Chains A and B, each alone.
Chain A
Amino acid sequence: MTFQLDATLAARGFEVSLSLGPAETIAILGPNGAGKSTLLSIISGLLRPDAGKAVLGGRVLFDLAADKNIWRAPHTRGTALLAQEALLFPHLSALDNVAFGPRSAGASSAAARETAMHWLAEVDAGDLAARRPGQLSGGQAQRVAVARALAADPELLLLDEPMAALDIHAAPLLRRLLKRVLAGRRAIIITHDILDALMLADRVIVLEDGRISEAGPTRDVLEKPRSRFAAGLAGLNLVAGTVSDAGVTTAQGMVVAGHHDGTLGPGQDGVAVFPPSAVSVFLTEEHGSPRNSFPVRITDLEPHGDQIRVHAGGLFADITPAASADLGLTPGMTVHFVIKAAAIAIYPA
Chain B
Amino acid sequence: MNRRSGTGYTGIPPWIYAIAAAGAVFVLLPLVAMVAKVNWPQFIPLITSESSLTALGLSLRTSATSTAACVVLGVPLALVLARSPFPGQRLLRAFVLLPLVLPPVVGGIALLYTFGRQGLLGRSLEMAGIQIAFSTTAVVLAQTFVALPFLVVSLEGALRTAGNKYEAVAATLGARPSTVLRRVTIPLVLPGLASGAVLSFARSLGEFGATLTFAGSLQGVTRTLPLEIYLQRETDADAAVALSLLLVAVAVAVVGLSYRRPRVDAAPEGAFR
Which residues of A are interface residues toward B (Cβ below 8 A)?
A: 44-46, 73-81, 83, 85, 87, 89-91, 100-101, 104-105, 131-132, 134-135, 137, 148-149, 152, 154, 158
Contact = CB atoms under 8 A, between A and B. Distances in A.
Nearest to A81: B172
Q: Main SS of the interface on chain A?
A: loop
Interface stretch (B29-37, B85-93, B97-105, B174-182): B174-182
A44 B172 CA distance: 7
A80 B267 contact: no
Contacts of A104: 170, 173-176, 179
B175 A87 contact: no
A75 B265 contact: no
B184 A89 contact: yes
Contacts of A77: 172
B11 to A, nearest CB: 27
A158 B166 CA distance: 16
B106 interface: no
B4 interface: no
B177 A90 contact: no
Contacts of A80: 172-174
B13 interface: no
Interface residues of B, number: 26
Contact of A132 (B173, B174, B180, B265): B265
B273 interface: yes
B185 to A, nearest CB: 10
Contact of A100 (B177, B183, B264, B267): B183
Interface in B8-33: none
A90 B268 CA distance: 16
Nearest to B169: A87
Interface in B117-133: none
Interface in B167-216: 168-177, 179-180, 183-184, 187-188, 190
A77 B176 CA distance: 11
B44 interface: no
B183 A87 contact: no
Given A87-B165, A137-B272, A137-B273, A75 B267 contact: no
B268 A75 contact: no
